Each structure stands twice: as structure tokens, then as C-alpha cells.
Amino acid sequence: MGALADGCSVKIAVVGAGPAGLTAARILAANAHRPVVFEASDWIGGRTRTIRRDGHAVDVGAGWLASFYTETFRLLAAVGLDESLDQLDLAGASCLSDHGEIIDVPATASEAISTQIIPLAEKLRLVAWAAALLIRQPQANLKPDLRFDKIDADSHITRAVGPKAAERVFTPMVSAVFSDLSELSAALLRSWVRAGVGARFYALEGGMDSLWTRIAEDLDVRTDTPVRNIAMGRGSGIDISTDSGSSERFDACVVAAPITRVRSIIEGADLPHWLDDMRYAPHFRVYAAIEGTLERADIHPLESDEHVATVSRGPAGRLWGVIPEGHSAALVGSSGSWSHDLIDASDAAEQLWGRAREIDRGLFELSDAVLVESIRWDEAVPVMAPGHFARVKTLEQRPPLVFAGDWLVQPCIEGAVRSGIGAAKHFGLA
């Protein structure tokens, strides 16, 4: 492998300027390598993008950091942004909608026992399931338990707890963040439930992209530069070709863009066939603001809704970003299945908002909004289907071509960061 084998400083292409790619590039640069980051879009941070309009800062992708994001917090401290963390007050905000009637989600054990959301038998089974989970997975580190990787999360919860718990507790919680419960590995669900016990949640004062724009300041990052081809060169090296027609030789490459975008443009590498089955769930959301005050609430449909996953609303302050004084805002998220249809629809915002007002009768008319932002992510989050974690363990990573991305660890910022650290380690870094 030439210079790579000699332990010399090498020129490394990093494809993707999201958390995975920038984490890897930062470590590589700190160890005297020469990373060059290629980014297809005109912004830094991938799915942590923040849109700033008229005093509003809208975190259109990831909206929070969790206290179990240990490597992300270390990274924040390393670049001097740990003081910019703003803890979110989510107490009492979670609600369920029963055809427009709002029901508070139980906040204490006694309230959980008395609630009519799920039958008593399922409540007892839920308590037993949660207790067993804490015993089997004593650490809240997002590490998946591979014993549960072969079964889908919906079947697992239905069998272990009951159908109402699956529909009314777990489906709303999961579909708003990831994808449909039936599509996901039970190992993913269990790792997130375990990690969420006692967790605290934070936003970044400067926007969720502020960490990545800070890191990019010290790197060679080329935005608006889509990569067309990644070719393993004859002998040693990798040729990177861009849409502009340019081609450049590198000693190695870290592929940190969504695997669905890049798997077809990699030449000369023996990739596992299961990568062809990888896919991402789309997310379509609408952020809208009005003048005045709205009560804070995060509302999920009580019964599984094929259109709306969640309605979050609130007054000036924090709501997937920052709402300026004198305004209130709401963020409506579509279900994963309906997002497929809405992504390209010209009236998608109106369709989604109309459905959301059936769930939240206190939601304002979209026509009354002073600001409307439609948020479209064709590839929002990797679908970690049953068997995914076991397949990832079989992936042999070695220079000159190494992968990074949340699909390798967990579908979140922390997963992306950990994957970037892992990618850098393949170059002999501590």
C-alpha cells in the first residue's frame, strides 16, 4: 500500500462533509495526514443542517444531542463548544392525540399504572420487559444486543409486551425519528430504549451545524463538489473524479456519504452484496411560524397514523432550533411511508399541515404563518433492518478504501461521530 504501509503522511480524500466525514478528517489532519473533504451540497454538516431565516434558526435534520452521545461531547469540548450546550426542558411536553383529543403521556410510575392508553396486562409486561432490558444491557452506550438483531422491532414488542404497546407507545416514539417500527431491527429499538433511561437532551446555541462548521474551518473542504467516480487505481492510490470533470489521485479515501449514493460509483473494490439492499427512509417536515404565543407540546397520534408522525409546537425559545421573541412555531413531521409521496409533491406542505390539524386542533392555519419552510430529506436516516448489525460486523475495512457513516454504528449524530473515529483508526491512529 505504499505510503500507507510506511506510516507516512498521506493524502486522503474524504467524501462527505457531515459528522462522519468531518470527524474522520479532523483526526487524520491532527495526525499529520492531508485530508481533502468533498461535499456535494453547498452547506457543511450533512443532516445537521440549520436554516436561518428572519431571526429563526431551524434545525432541519437532527434537533438535539443526548447525554449518552459521549464521543460527540468530547468533540465539542475539544473545539471549545461545550459551553454552547443548552439543555432542553421536555418535561410535560409529550402528548398523544386521540382523534384530536389531547392526552398527556404519563410522567411517573403511578400515572403509568393508572393510564388507559394500554391494557393493564400489557402495562405489567412492559414493566417486566424494561426491567429485563436494564439487566441485559447495564450500560447506556447504544451498543446493540445482537441476540435481538434478527427480529423486527414491531414483532418483538408485540410478542414481549403486546399489540397496544407496540402501536401506542413504541410506534409514535420510533417513527418520528427513524422509520416504521416493522422495518427496524429489534436490537436498535432495545439499544435506544436502554440509552434513553434517565437521558438528558441538549441543543447547540449556534445551531446544530455549528460544531461542524467550526471543525471545517481548519480543513480543506470543497463544497458544491459532487463526486462522480471513486476508482481504485492501478498499483496504489485512488482516483477521485468530480462532476466538474476534474480528477485527482489520492493515497486513500474515506467514503462518508450515504452508502446508497456512492455504492454505484465505486470501481475496483470488492463490496459485499448486502450493501445493495441498504436504503434510507425519507423525511418530509414543515416548519411554520406565527406572531403570538402557542402552548408547548409534542403530540403523537394515539392510533397509528399513516400520514403524520408528530406535531411539535411552542412559543419563543427552543423548538428544533430557535424561535425569536414575539413568535411561536410548529414543526410537523410526516410518517416515513407518506414522506415517499410528499417529497416531490408541489402541495406537500398544505397536505401535511391539513392532516396535522386533525391531530392537533390547536394548530394554526398554514395560511396564517409569517414563515413557512418545507424540509425535504430524500435520505434522512438509514433503515437498520433485521440482521443489519450482524451484517455490519462482517464488513472488512482496510485502507486504501474505508467507509464511515451512521449506518455503520447507529442512525444518529453519535453513530456518525463514532464511525468517523473508527475510520481514522484504520490508518493506524490511536
In this prediction, residue 8 carries a pLDDT of 77
Query: For residue 225, is it within any domain?
Result: yes
Task: Round the average pLDDT of the chain to a whole number and report it.
Answer: 91
Query: For residue 430, is it within any domain?
Result: no
Q: Tell me: do 220 and 263 sit in the same domain.
A: yes
Q: Tell me: do 123 and 256 sit in the same domain.
A: no
In this prediction, residue 96 carries a pLDDT of 80
- 2 pLDDT higher than 90: no
Domain boundary pick from 198, 217, 246: 198
In this prediction, residue 104 carries a pLDDT of 74
CATH number at residue 74: 3.90.660.10
Query: For residue 94, is it within any domain?
Result: no
Q: Tell me: do 358 and 421 sit in the same domain.
A: no
Q: What percent of the chain has pLDDT over 70?
A: 93
In this prediction, residue 100 carries a pLDDT of 78
Q: Tell me the three-class secondary structure of the chain, residue by residue.
A: CCHHHHCCCCEEEEECCCHHHHHHHHHHHHCCCEEEEECCCCCCCHHHCEEEECCEEEECCCCCEECCCHHHHHHHHHCCCHHHEEECCCCCCEEEEECCEEEECCCCHHHHHHCCCCCHHHHHHHHHHHHHHHHHCCCCCCCCCHHHCCCEHHHHHHHHCCHHHHHHHHHHHHHCCCCCHHHCEHHHHHHHHHHHCCCCEEEECCCCCHHHHHHHCCCEEECCCCEEEEEECCCCCEEEEECCCCEEEECEEEECCCHHHHHHHEECCCCCHHHHHCCEEEEEEEEEEEECCCCCEEEEECCCCCCEEEEEEECCEECCEEECCCEEEEEEEECHHHHHHHCCCCCHHHHHHHHHHHHCCCCCCHHHCCEEEEEEEEEEEECCCCCHHHHHHCCCCECCEEECCHHHCCCCHHHHHHHHHHHHHCCCCC
Q: Tell me: do 303 and 347 sit in the same domain.
A: yes
Query: For residue 327, is it within any domain?
Result: yes
User: What is the per-residue pLDDT across 248-278, written as a single tens digit (0 to 9) for each?
Assistant: 999 999 999 999 999 999 999 999 999 999 9
- 1 pLDDT higher than 50: no
CATH number at residue 17: 3.50.50.60
User: What is the per-residue pLDDT across 206-244, written as a single tens digit (0 to 9) for each?
Assistant: 899 999 999 999 999 999 999 999 999 776 799 999 999
How many domains does the chain contain in total? 3
Mean pLDDT computed over 159-177: 88
Q: Tell me: do 352 and 290 sit in the same domain.
A: yes
Query: For residue 95, is it within any domain?
Result: no
Domain boundary pick from 155, 174, 198: 198
Mean pLDDT computed over 42-56: 94
- 52 pLDDT higher than 80: yes
pLDDT band at 39 (very low <50, low <70, confident <90, very high): very high
Query: For residue 418, is it within any domain?
Result: yes
Mean pLDDT computed over 373-385: 94
Mean pLDDT computed over 55-80: 94
Q: Tell me: do 16 and 153 sit in the same domain.
A: no
Q: Tell me: do 216 and 158 sit in the same domain.
A: no
Q: Tell me: do 299 and 368 sit in the same domain.
A: yes
Q: Tell me: do 358 and 293 sit in the same domain.
A: yes
**Which residue range(s) make up the domain with 152?**
107-198
- 401: cell is 478504501
Query: For residue 100, is it within any domain?
Result: no
pLDDT band at 94 (very low <50, low <70, confident <90, very high): confident
In this prediction, residue 16 carries a pLDDT of 98
Q: Tell me: do 320 and 414 sit in the same domain.
A: no
Q: Tell me: do 165 and 244 sit in the same domain.
A: no
Domain boundary pick from 198, 220, 253: 198
Q: What percent of the chain has pLDDT over 90?
A: 74
CATH number at residue 172: 1.10.3110
- 10 pLDDT higher than 90: yes
User: What is the per-residue pLDDT across 279-327, written as a single tens digit (0 to 9) for each?
Assistant: 999 999 999 999 999 988 888 887 666 788 889 999 998 888 899 999 9
User: What is the per-residue pLDDT across 107-120, written as a single tens digit (0 to 9) for each?
Assistant: 555 556 667 788 99
134-148, 165-179, 187-201, 285-299: which has the minimum mean pLDDT?
165-179
Q: Tell me: do 114 and 261 sit in the same domain.
A: no
Query: For residue 204, is it within any domain?
Result: no
